[in-house]
Amino acid sequence: MTVPVGSNELEKEILRLLEDLPLEVGIPENVRQLLLQAGRPLAMKTAHDFLASADDKKKSAGLEIAMLVDSEKNINLILPLLEEANWLIRWQVMYSVTRTKRFLDDDELIGLVVKTLLDDPSPEVRVEVADALGYCKATPNVILALEYARDHDFEFDRDGYRASTIAKESIKRIQERQNDS
């Protein structure tokens, strides 16, 4: 597949390729290859344009593109999407952020994930972050938030998981890690 000339053509081709896919699919391999061929500047321009869109599918694609280009550097670019009404976009932000090296030790980023666990209205998002918090630096706030979720968050997500159950598992992972050191 050859890269279309100019960013507008690239955006159109990406949108055409994503057109019939549901939001939660992410970016398929053919779009990844197209972006890699286009190069970082054009891929990042596309990411910025998509992130600024009112369309959820474009925002989701912009998030994926930004993280594909450089997941560590582009975290701050996608964080404003945590304010979106669509829970799936907020879930994608948390999924993407918590898979970076920066998340493991960055107190500010960990604090944002803790806040998401305590405040996000979606059980899908809370389940995701309850799991992720079991892998980062175990600050007192992480432990307190997980204990709170364990004791109070019994809502099921669409896959049948509860943040309370996942938080309990994360606390156990943290305790095992602390016992090993």
35: exposed, middle or buried (Cβ count in 10 Å: 0-12, 13-18, 19+): buried
| Integer Cα distance of 134 and 163 in angstroms | 12
| Integer Cα distance of 2 and 54 in angstroms | 28
Could you tell me the pTM of the whole model? 0.87
For the stretch 117-161, pLDDT in tens is 999 999 999 999 999 999 999 999 999 999 999 999 999 999 999
Decide if pLDDT at 11 tops 90. Answer: no
DSSP string, 70-118: HTTTTHHHHGGGGG-S-HHHHHHHHHHHTTSHHHHH-HHHHHHHHHHHH
38-70 exposure pattern, b = at least 16 Cβ within 10 A, e = fewer: beeebbbbbbebbbeeeeebbbbbbbbbbbbbe
| Integer Cα distance of 65 and 50 in angstroms | 9
The residue length of the chain stands at 181
Q: What is the pLDDT of residue 15?
A: 75
Decide if pLDDT at 20 tops 70. Answer: yes
| Integer Cα distance of 139 and 78 in angstroms | 24
Nearest Cα to Cα of residue 117 among 166, 172, 175, 76: 166
| Residue 12 tokens, joined | 């159109």
